[in-house]
Structure 1
Amino acid sequence: MRIFHLDFNFVSLREGFVRELLAHVAAMGYDAVLWELENQVVWETCPECATPESWSQSRFSDLLRYSRGLKLEPIPLLQTIGHGEYVMSRPRYHAFREHPDFSDCYCVSKPEVRDFLRRWIQEYCELFGELRYFHLGGDEAYRFGSCPACSGRDRQTLYGEHVNALAAELRKRRIRPGIWSDMIM
């Protein structure tokens, strides 16, 4: 499988550019796109995280149809431990933080965090439709395991429990979960 990682994290991409890029990616022999959308799509799970340039789900769904027409299999990527700044910088989600002064890492010991991420995974699955793979991120979570609720626990166990709980939601749908490997090495 040749996967192209399309990261909407740092820039707002125009639809015409993305369509051209996807055509080039398909012509180069890629057969899948890892979609890291973050707040560039308006999510019902956390609509206040959207930007003025965020795509509606309907508009993104049209892009997915186009991408599938190019024989590019979609693989959504949702950051479920680190890289949560666009969520936890919002006052409504400050309680999700691993550290009160930083918005980069979720505290995975909080049941409300896992509930929130499960709802979001469900929303991703509904938007993307039929999927074989789903990426749960999990990388570069440098503050992971440092809060009072987490610090007394083994970080690897904590990480495994969190990822496995979210992965179980995907396996129920017959979707194979994936993660980045840096936090488990």
Structure 2
Amino acid sequence: MKTPKYLLLLIACLFTFNAFAQQIADSSFLVRGFAIAAPRPDGVADFVKFINEELAPRKVNTLILRVDYNYQFKSHPELRDSIALSKSDVKKMVEACKKNSISIIPQINLLGHQSWANKTGMLLKIYPEFDENPWVKVPLTAAEYKWPNADALYCKSYCPLHPGVHKVVFDLIDEITEVFEAKAFHAGMDEVFYLGEDKCPRCAGRDKAVLFANEVQTIRDHLAEKNQELWIWGDRLIDGRTTGIGEWAASYNNTWRAVDLIPRDVVICDWQYDEDNQTAVYFAMKGLRVVTCAWNRPKVAVSQVEDLYRSRALAGKALKGRFYGIAETVWSSPVQFLNGYYGKTVSPQGGDNTPWNTFKIMFGKAGQLDQAAVSK
């Protein structure tokens, strides 16, 4: 008995609909991220406008906000910046993100990045006993800071084995994730040059990879108690010498071996800015979810977006979900970024190589690939 034509047509329509639904589901599974410093109080309104008018239309679903000490902490008011966000300021951003189905992931730089040039961060400024190498002094002025230098000073670190550091750090994590209503926390942990120093009374002689992995585990375990995820930058987990990537976007001090020691549920933000080194494949093969991060090179960002979609299309079931998404990262203040984005300032030195141009081109490419997948 022949199957009626209308039934064949119905089956074909159902198959097409299911394929279409799968394309949409696959696209929505991806992290489409934007990482930037949290605005100061007087910039919240402009930032909320950017969320509504620029992030949402591009289907950005994850906002990583580098808060650090730009919040009026109640648990440790001594660590607040002199001008800091209030709870009311934060809730304005939270509500804008809720309305647009955007998850906020607040960030506080942990372990490394406890100083910058001639400025010591609030944690070591208030609690100098946490310093991994207090004998290295931060220069008094920015003009005195030069790299390289005799102390190999780029940014200071806190000592992960100091008995008092996690009590303070966990108080901050708990407060910031609560006010941002966050399901994940970004701990930074990039560019850690000081770890396991020979003169440190606690860390001397210890394996740097183990020290790094243990700190990841400690932070991850604390977050897991509240069913929250840990996100970190991935550079310290890459062998800078073997890959040729170098000591900035990868590790020269052997922390890279920690990639096999950290929990598999940690999300890796893999920043490779100047070249498309395809390190996302490395992290995925290690069993980790990876978000590929771009900055100010549009051509590199486009290549990375294409890599992501290609990898997800070609990978087997186990690997596919580990290619977790893409994110644009910004390393200036929100004011500087928004001024560039809206054409209020220009960057003649950078030309097209700016974070705002990369943002537009990267998400434009992602949108094209989404549309192409749906139209197949």
TM-score range normalised by the length of the shorter chain = 0.7 to 0.9
* Aligned-pair CA distance for 1:130: 4.8
- Opposite residue 156 of structure 2, the aligned amino acid is D
Distance 2:67 2:182 in 1: 18
Distance 2:86 2:189 in 1: 26
Match of 1:83 in 2: 113
Q: Please tell me whether the aligned partners of residues 88 and 104 of structure 1 are also in contact (alpha carbons under 8 angstroms).
A: no
Q: Please tell me whether the aligned partners of residues 118 and 169 of structure 1 are also in contact (alpha carbons under 8 angstroms).
A: yes
Indicate whether 1:148 and 2:201 are aligned: yes
**Match of residue 225, structure 2, among 172, 175, 179:** 172
- Opposite residue 47 of structure 2, the aligned amino acid is V
What SS does the aligned partner of 1:121 have? helix
* Aligned-pair CA distance for 1:95: 0.7
Q: Please tell me whether the aligned partners of residues 39 and 54 of structure 1 are also in contact (alpha carbons under 8 angstroms).
A: yes
Match of 1:94 in 2: 128
**Match of residue 161, structure 1, among 198, 202, 214:** 214
Distance 1:172 1:49 in 2: 25
Match of 2:187 in 1: 136
Over residues 7-54 of structure 1, what are the superposed CA-to-partner deviations in whole Å (9 max), with x where a residue is unaligned?
23xx74611221122121111221110011112211123323323431
> Quick check: 150-159 or 54-63, which moved more?
54-63
Q: Number of matched residues?
A: 181
* Aligned-pair CA distance for 1:121: 1.3
What SS does the aligned partner of 2:64 have? strand
Higher relative contact order, structure no. (Cα contacts within 8 Å, ≥ 6 residues apart): 1
Over residues 53-87 of structure 1, what are the superposed CA-to-partner deviations in whole Å (9 max), with x where a residue is unaligned?
31112321232122221211111212111122322
Indicate whether 1:14 and 2:43 are aligned: yes
5+ residue gaps, structure 1? none
- Opposite residue 44 of structure 1, the aligned amino acid is K
- CA distance 1:88–1:122, change in 2 (3 Å): closer
Larger Rg: 1 or 2?
2
What SS does the aligned partner of 1:21 have? helix
What SS does the aligned partner of 1:178 have? strand
Distance 2:222 2:124 in 1: 26
- Opposite residue 150 of structure 1, the aligned amino acid is C
* Aligned-pair CA distance for 1:108: 0.5
Q: Identity of counterpart residues, as a percentage?
A: 23
Match of 2:102 in 1: 72
* Aligned-pair CA distance for 1:113: 0.7
- CA distance 1:130–1:50, change in 2 (3 Å): closer
- Opposite residue 113 of structure 1, the aligned amino acid is V
Taking structure 2 as the reference length, what is the TM-score of the superposition?
0.45
* Aligned-pair CA distance for 1:89: 4.7
Distance 1:114 1:121 in 2: 10
> Quick check: 99-108 or 71-80, which moved more?
99-108
Match of 1:38 in 2: 68
Distance 2:86 2:111 in 1: 25
Distance 1:150 1:115 in 2: 19
Aligned alpha-carbon RMSD (Å): 1.9
* Aligned-pair CA distance for 1:148: 3.3
